[in-house]
Chains A and B, each alone.
Chain A
């Protein structure tokens, strides 16, 4: 059974497995769609297979264990319920059988006993009667004796109804007998004819000694004797019929002397013709006391059918069969109705049970015979269980009844069904129920196991999948890393040819022989390549950030200047757009901050260029203010209600701001462009994300700008966000953490204008700029008026000057102040935008003339456009308007203007007589203009964005025009080189002009070249020599340092020479050299320079092209950086810029 269960389990698990196997291919197919390499899958699938296999084994094991458990339980249950019951029942059944058999045997015993008793009683009575008539004298007495005997015998016979017959056989052969026929219920008296018996013979007691007289022959051979039978009333014993003669011994056995040979009681089983059952006959002798001889023999015959009836009754109640046999094996009684006697032809005979007509008895007897034969166990007790007789099982038990004269054997055959039928049935039912329950439990258990392990296998599958996913992710990450790396490399590699392309274009553009069309085309190409380069730069930045290579510089820089330069640059672009660019930095901004200026500028350049792209009219304001960490209450009002949204950040900031000297700088870029949909406020900062993809066509762009901005801002410890704005347009707010040099915190040089009684009339086109400027001026106690167009300007001027006593001022307070200040030496400044003049026609000259009327009373400062023509400028200058600045006007410019004005006023007041007015003014002018210049280059360096080439020359023109008359050629060179330094377009034009001027642009310069590669050494030397420089070559860093120190020693010796000619104007330093590399050498040189306080320019020469190398170069103290192969022009410009800067103090000193 268990094995069957196992087989079932196996079948089930096989099925399940096949199911899984069917599923698994689809799973792997599904996973194949992902972009992972197939080998991994093979690995994963094999892994899966092994896991399936292990799951299968585990399942099988659990199922088998379950099966065994359940099987054991079932067996145990069955055993306990079945075997114990069976055993106890068996015991009971044995007792029952014994009991059953005991009863007929007891009955038999009773019968025997009663028969013996009757016989004994008969014998005793007979003795008494015979003694009385011991001496029969005559026939009469003899007859009387017989009569008495008859009566006595009748009394006894009647008292026992079970008796079959009582016989008395006298010595003389007379026979008296009572016989009861149970079948016909008749009672007969049988006697022999008295005639034949002589009394004498009968009473011859003397002859008693010879027993021969008592031979059976006397009876049996006495065939001549006639016997009579007369029927009697069974109740009373009265004769009811006539005696009839019958043959002797026909009806009954008469116990003769032969049966009592030893005088003791004798037993035997007899058969009679008239009964169908065996008879038990007992014979006892009647003794004559006197002579001790036997006078008669009494025989009692009892039918055994009552035993049979009892048996029948018992069997009826209990079912089964019982039979009794004599020791010899003759059947005495059975519980069936089958005849006990064999009807042979002559007379009935006893039969053996094996010949019984009842099949059960016969078969049982046969079985016993077969098993034991004649060798019964000593006590004749046999117990056979589960004997199969016919189609049924029987219990067969035999018991031996050891009577002295008549040993008997009782056999009981009881069908097993009777005793154990119910038990067997129950047991079978229990078994069936148990098996079914067990199999149910097993099936359910197996299903449970399957489900549970299915979960486990699913988990395993998931785990395997997870592992493969992890692998895939790792690979993807690695590949993304590779991608970043690749991008970085690629964009770098791309940038190099791009630079070449652009340089060549610049050269081409300087060519005089181009037709206009060609020039236009080249300009166009130049523009495109600039755009391309910018794109490349963006990608490089982004990939740098992504690969985590972006390292922010930490250097001090002038924040205001950087931003001003930026705004300057963008205002050029904005002019075409009719957009006003305004810079609005609060006064509390630290002037110097620590950080990466280039990146900072990049942030704002990106933001502003983004704004410009989407703003067609209106303004772009770059606001900035400072939040000191220790003064958290922000004094400055937020221009918009973005305060709440930033509160959370602020809390974080407070912790951050614990660091010393850290300031949080807030910036806002506010424009009036098309705005960004609020839902896109977050996503615009994602890479390649654009607020409105459709605008790509109109505005272009890759969507990288803002992403870079955000990563940069984050890198600087800040955040950027788009903030809700009331009007149209976009407002981006950002903050960043920058540290400030300790000494400059809160120290912001500010001219005290109040003491000079300044009054300013702002006649500016741009509304926003004007507003902001006037607000700022008023905050600094400067009185302002505003005018947005020419008419307004004239009106205000007239109001103030011509009708100063009575005119109606717009604000009484102003007039009061004005009148007050009029008393003192007040300065009245008019800032005029050149755009207010009508330049299209000739009206502007008249307008200038008009203004000229006030030139004595007021100072004029002009805000020029970038494309303001020379004629206008010349005209202005001729009119004495020498304060000219380019757009846009921001605070520092304003401040410079004011300073210049104040200075001029002072000079004017003090040296009115001596000093020539123009020189001073020009100096002031020069001052203003010069201050502006470095800004421009900074701006240009920080972003290469489309500074329209057309604008640049004009710009330089402006400056040049301003300077032309004043500068020596050297100075001019200096200015130019300043320009050239980084702004390629300018620089190249400069260089080309140099080339035109003559090849020897480096004339007189002494250059130390430290280079180990002979090839490069030679090339560079020749190159420099061609340009007119004298070159000293050294092979490594060590030699370079030595050369310099030797020089110092030399210089110490002949000190007079130094001032005029230091031995080397510049060092070109290769970075990678044997013995001592360029970095080390530079460090050493700089260290030694600390003592002499000189500074020799060092230019790095390197084949590395990463900007990190550049950073490294600058870090160790080099001034500039050139990549190999040496680009002649670039080298010249760099060298010039560095040497001139150095030369300048020298020149000034001389």
Chain B
């Protein structure tokens, strides 16, 4: 019981810290709210979807920048999609990078785009690790027999 409480507190703290640091925003909370008995794994499902999608997009982007002539239109489409998906799960910082990326892309600024791509990867991996930690915590709570606290 003690363990569960501790874990729960840890979970709450972690989530708030994520929000405070801007990794996640309200959208993520909304996702959590959407999760209920009918689809208990909703958040994890969505987020893993996001991970898959993002990996694919990042690969696409990286390969697009490998080309001699960068197809900005394509890149723009990818970034746009990335922005949509990241904003949907509430990965705020990823989204922000996407916004900047899009601007550079419209301006056909290669350097800016490269920098953005790098930071995008960085942010993505950051948020990914954070979220994984979060889910791990959640699992631990579940395993300990507690319930994930409402935020």
Contacts and interface: CB of A to CB of B under 8 A. Distances in A.
B88 interface: yes
A913 interface: no
Interface string B38-75: 01001001100110110000000000000000000000
Interface in B16-44: 27, 30-31, 34, 36, 39, 42
B142 interface: no
Contacts of A1026: 34, 36
A1070 B90 CA distance: 18
B28 to A, nearest CB: 10
A1125 B52 contact: no
A1125 B46 CA distance: 14
A1070 to B, nearest CB: 8
B150 to A, nearest CB: 16
Nearest to B45: A1018
A591 to B, nearest CB: 42
Contacts of B87: 1103, 1124-1125
B88 A1016 contact: yes
Nearest to B54: A1015
B149 interface: no
A357 B147 CA distance: 156
Interface string B67-102: 000000000010011011101111000000000000
A1072 interface: yes
B94 to A, nearest CB: 11
B88 A1125 contact: yes
6 contacts: A1013-B81, A1014-B53, A1015-B89, A1018-B45, A1026-B34, A1125-B27
- 3 smallest CB-CB distances across A and B, nearest first, come from A1015-B85, A1014-B49, A1015-B50
Nearest to B86: A1015
A1023 interface: yes
A1125 B50 CA distance: 14
B53 A1019 contact: no
B80 A1019 contact: no
A1023 B39 CA distance: 12
Nearest to A1104: B80
A1013 B34 contact: no
A1036 to B, nearest CB: 12
Contact of A1015 (B36, B88, B103): B88
A1012 B89 CA distance: 15
Contacts of B52: 1014
A1000 to B, nearest CB: 13
Contacts of B80: 1072, 1103
Contacts, number: 60
Contacts of A1020: 88
Most buried by B among A1014, A1026, A1103, A1126: A1103
B24 to A, nearest CB: 12
Given A1015-B85, A1016-B84, A1126-B88, A1023 B77 contact: no
Contact of A1013 (B31, B39, B53, B90): B53
A1128 interface: yes
- Which one of A1016, A1020, A1023 has the highest number of Cβ atoms from chain B below 10 Å of its Cβ? A1016
A1058 interface: no
A1004 B34 CA distance: 19
Contact of A1125 (B36, B49, B90): B90
A998 to B, nearest CB: 15
Contacts of A1013: 53, 81, 84-85, 88
B88 A1022 contact: no
Nearest to B76: A1072
Interface string B99-116: 000010000000000000
A584 B38 CA distance: 60
A1016 B85 CA distance: 6
Contact of A1103 (B27, B30, B36, B83): B83
- Give the interface centre of A1022, A1124, A1128 by most chain B CB atoms within 10 Å: A1022
Contacts of B83: 1103, 1124
B57 to A, nearest CB: 9
A967 to B, nearest CB: 33
B42 A1022 contact: yes
Nearest to A1072: B80
B134 to A, nearest CB: 16
Nearest to A1016: B88
Instruction: Classify chain B: how many residues form its interface, as a range.
Output: 20 to 34
A999 to B, nearest CB: 10
Contacts of B84: 1013, 1015-1016, 1070, 1072, 1103, 1124
Contacts of A1070: 84
A1073 to B, nearest CB: 9
Given A1013-B53, A1019-B46, A1103-B87, A1072 B81 contact: yes
Contact of B34 (A1022, A1103, A1124): A1022
Nearest to A504: B26
Contacts of A1015: 46, 49-50, 53, 84-85, 88-89
A737 B36 CA distance: 58
Contacts of A1126: 88
A489 B107 CA distance: 14
A850 B24 CA distance: 67
Nearest to A1070: B84
Contacts of A1128: 30
A1103 B79 CA distance: 11
Contacts of B88: 1013, 1015-1016, 1019-1020, 1124-1126
Contacts of B34: 1019, 1022-1023, 1026
Contact of B39 (A1012, A1022, A1072, A1103): A1022
A540 B133 CA distance: 42
A1018 B49 contact: yes
A1019 B47 CA distance: 10
A1018 B46 contact: yes
Given A1013-B84, A1125-B90, 17 more contacts: A1013-B53, A1013-B81, A1013-B88, A1015-B49, A1015-B84, A1015-B85, A1015-B88, A1020-B88, A1023-B34, A1072-B77, A1072-B80, A1103-B80, A1103-B87, A1124-B83, A1124-B84, A1124-B87, A1124-B88
B115 to A, nearest CB: 19
Interface in A60-111: none
Contacts of B42: 1018, 1022
A1018 B30 CA distance: 13
A1103 B49 CA distance: 19
A1072 B84 CA distance: 10
A1127 to B, nearest CB: 9
Nearest to B31: A1019
A1124 B87 CA distance: 7
Interface in A1112-1139: 1124-1126, 1128
A489 B106 CA distance: 14
Nearest to B39: A1022
Contacts of A1022: 34, 39, 42, 46
A487 to B, nearest CB: 15
Contacts of B27: 1125
Contacts of B49: 1014-1015, 1018
Contacts of A1125: 27, 87-88, 90
B29 to A, nearest CB: 11
The interface centre, meaning the residue of A1014, A1015, A1016, A1026 with most chain B CB atoms within 10 A of its CB, is A1015
A1017 to B, nearest CB: 8
A225 to B, nearest CB: 148
Nearest to A1018: B46
Contacts of B81: 1012-1013, 1072
Contacts of A1072: 77, 80-81, 84
Nearest to A1101: B84
Nearest to A500: B26
Contacts of A1019: 31, 34, 46, 88-89
A341 to B, nearest CB: 122
A18 B4 CA distance: 89
A490 to B, nearest CB: 12
